[in-house]
Amino acid sequence: MDPKHIRNFSIIAHIDHGKSTLADRMLEITGTIEKRKMQEQVLDSMELERERGITIKMQPVRMKWKSSAGSELVDSADPAPSTARQVPSFGSALSSKDLANDSELRQSRHLSLPATVAADGQQEYILNLIDTPGHIDFSYEVSRSLRAVEGSILLVDATQGVQAQTLTTLNMAKEAGLTIIPVVSKIDSPLARTEDVVAEMCQLLKCSKEDVLKVSGKTGEGVALLLDEVIRRVPPPFGSSSAATVAGSDKWRLSRSAAERNEGTCRAEEGAGFANTAMNEYGSDRFRSLVFDFQYSNHTGVIVYIRVMNGTAHRHDKLVFKIADKVFEAIEVGIFKPDNTPVESLSAGEIGYIVTGIKEPGIASVGDTVASVKDSLSPLDGYQSPRPVVWASIYPESQDHLPVLRQALGRLRLSDSSFTYEEEASGTLGKGYRCGFLGMLHLEIVTERLRREFNLELVVTMPTITYTVTNKNGKTSVIYSPSLFPDDHDIVDVSEPVVTMKIITPPEYIGSLMTSVYEHEGLVTSTDNFGDNRTMLTVNMPLRELMRNFFDEVKSLSSGYASISYDITDNQHADVVRMDVLVADEPVPAFARVVSRRRVPEEAETTVEKLYKILPRELFTFKVQAQALGRILSSRSISGKKKDAAATLSGGDITRKMKLREKQKEGRKRLKEHGSVNIPQDVFVKMMRNG
Ligand SMILES: Nc1nc2c(ncn2[C@@H]2O[C@H](COP(=O)(O)OP(=O)(O)OP(=O)(O)O)[C@@H](O)[C@H]2O)c(=O)[nH]1
Ligand SMILES: [Mg+2]
């Protein structure tokens, strides 16, 4: 397919704004999925996604769509209206030089639209859509998808309006220099405030009302028009094996790379190198592609999801992972329909997959470049590694299963590149892995997947953030496990990460939200009016406090109307101490946690109460205690199960009964002395959950 007739775009939005449902309707009207096979949010194919009704992993899919949208630009008697219809193209990070070239760039985009169309005026286009998750914990998925496409549909729910995560995803798309199509969703809903939300989007994007499209993923209204607009507004891919398109689109890539260089991030540094070498190679016909995701199959090994930047790859081609420096043969190349479907070849501008046959972990990584071995081009600029937000240690319930856990983590990382793991050992729990996650939901999903997909029984420690601790001996170390947090009297200083957070809320909830912010050691740094009678609070808060159920608190205080997004921005001094939890006089490292000094008594009380309620009883009585600063702060006894050994003896000699009871008493005493309490797995899971 000529790249002129390809459009690559993603759908981005706040959680639950209807991305996957809109994708359903697109798949339906393009005939990609037969109606009888259709189910709600069909792209959410993971068991956990379906169960929870949320998207966890990005999902690419290829559709075909006949449209005359592209031809209007070429054939129109007055080309001005459509080209000058100010297609919103937000490349905010463009340099001034690039901005000067903006109109020229737009021209070049439109010039590369189809010059010839079929007799019926309909040209067939390939549309590669990537559905993305909306939850903040999975925003690494969104950011990776943005590098594989030229445009994004920014979806805003007509019943909710612009939310905090709308702003975050919009900024990500702007930074990637993408064309953005503003769309209001759920216009069928009786609660829809469509026109107000259109106005809100116009204000946000500085665009006109006509630029904002309106759709319903439920009824399909406006979806065909939206696909036409995708063709009209999103530029075709820049790379091409045909020299004519390269000339025009190379410039566009140039501006995009400049945008990245302006970010001042690690990508920018790589981008600079990219500009020198990789840019010169853009017109090349030699195959080169960006790995934006992957999958693992026991049968065929790693399957990389790629966006082809140059040339063509065929089955059996000899290819190389440029960063990992690993040569392999393409066992299969294919496209997503949405199931993996083999094709003969994949060419510049296309999105698809390559089956690599590689089974060892640690070779494939997102952001690597897959290129032809012969006369190989230089690697493309990769992705910034995500920064883990919370940490937890994962141990197999039985040490015999450690190798299975190791293998499971390796495999899981091949379908989720955003968590990290490293082996560690704990006295009582044996060997396990310290894992980093992008948030509490991410942690919950990963541990749940380990249990379900690999049948593992696990002990997961209380999640924690990292603390930088300076000891009295002058040594500074980063602490990832609460049980390893030093005793208070050994510490000189502790610092912890701080987040800058945006909370968008209707004004009536501000009072209670402010109180909650204060209780979580937060500081409101600004209060701004936001769109349609709402307010945006900017708050600085220790990450530790954000993780202490703040999200749920905000949701319930605002009856679900307030939304949050955040970034880790700083490190600051923290007044925290380690709290140990003892069960039958034994500290349980998995329950240890680091808490604010002023909240220790309260935390001790609630933790002991919670454990008291969920720990099963034993044959003997034992204590559950919380200890900090060398003192027991809270304690409860869980009494032993009452079982009268003499109960079955009917009648007879009373001394025989007494003898038996005496013996039982002794047995219990021995059990108490030597017996350890068996803590079932679901107790660890329940303790890990907040609330
Ligand atoms: N009335 C109405 N409800 C919709 C529409 N689109 C989606 N919904 C409902 O909104 C909820 C969320 O829809 P999803 O499509 O899963 O939203 P999403 O944006 O993909 O969610 P995440 O991927 O988890 O961020 C579901 O209950 C849908 O049935 C629509 O056009 N109209
Ligand atoms: Mg979804």
> What is the average pLDDT score of the chain?
82
Q: Which of 185-199, 408-422, 601-615 has the highest mean pLDDT?
A: 185-199
Proximal ligand: closest to the CA of 183: 1
Atom of ligand 1 nearest to the CA of 135: 25
Predicted local confidence at residue 670, as pLDDT: 54
Confirm or reject CATH 3.30.70.240 for domain 469-574, answering yes or no: yes
Minimum CA distance residue for ligand 1 atom 30: 186
Residues 596-641 have pLDDT tens digits of 999 999 999 999 999 998 888 777 788 899 999 999 999 998 887 7
Q: Tell me which amino acid residue 272 is.
A: A
Question: Which residues line ligand 1 at a C-beta cut-off of 6 Å?
Answer: 13, 15-21, 41, 53-55, 133-135, 185-186, 188-189, 216-218
Q: What is the pLDDT of residues 640-665, one digit of tens each?
A: 776 666 666 666 667 777 777 677 66
Q: Which atom of ligand 1 is nearest to the CA of 132?
A: 23
Residue 24 CA, ligand 2 centroid: distance in Å:
10
Residue 267 is predicted with a pLDDT of 27
pLDDT per position as a tens digit, 194-211:
999 999 999 999 999 999
pLDDT at 690 over 70: no
The length of the chain in residues reads 691
CA of residue 294 to ligand 1 center, whole Å: 26
- Does pTM top 0.85 for this prediction? no
Output the pLDDT for position 129.
97
| 390-460 and 469-574, same CATH topology | yes
Contacts of 181 (CB under 8 A, 6+ apart): 9, 88, 151, 152, 153, 154, 213, 226, 229, 230, 233, 234
Q: Please state which CATH number belongs to domain 577-688.
A: 3.30.70.2570
Q: Whose CA is nearest to atom 10 of ligand 1?
A: 18
Q: What local confidence, expressed as pLDDT, does residue 650 receive?
A: 63
pLDDT score, position 113: 35
Residue with CA at minimum distance from ligand 1 atom 23: 55
* Ligand lying closest to the C-alpha of residue 136: 1
> Interhelix angle for 243-262 vs 102-111, to 10°?
140
Q: In one letter, which amino acid is 323?
A: I
Q: What is the pLDDT at residue 275? A: 35
Q: Please state the domain extents for the chain.
A: 3-237, 285-372, 390-460, 469-574, 577-688
- What's the pLDDT at 578? 95
Fold designation for 390-460: Alpha-Beta Plaits (3.30.70)
Max mean pLDDT among 59-63, 116-120, 612-616 falls in 59-63
Which residue's alpha carbon is at the smallest distance from atom 24 of ligand 1? 54
483-492, 518-527, 661-670: which range is least confident on average?
661-670
Categorize the per-residue pLDDT at 85 as very low, low, confident or very high, splitting at 50, 70 and 90: very low
Rounded distance between C-alpha atoms, residue 331 and residue 490, angstroms: 58
For position 252, what pLDDT does the model report? 28
Return phi, psi of residue 43, to 5°. -75, -15
- What is the model's pLDDT at position 689? 66
Q: What is the tens place of the pLDDT at every residue in 330-388? A: 999 999 999 999 999 999 999 999 999 998 878 888 999 999 998 778 888 888 888 88
pLDDT of res. 240: 37
Ligand 1 atom having least distance to the Cα of 133 = 23
Q: Between 2.40.30.10, 3.30.200.20, 2.40.110.10, 3.40.47.10, what CATH number should domain 285-372 receive?
A: 2.40.30.10
* pLDDT of 331: 96
For residue 338, say if its preceding peptide bond is cis, omega within 30 degrees of 0.
yes
Q: Is the pLDDT of residue 492 over 50?
A: yes
| Domain 3-237 part of CATH 3.90.950.20 | no
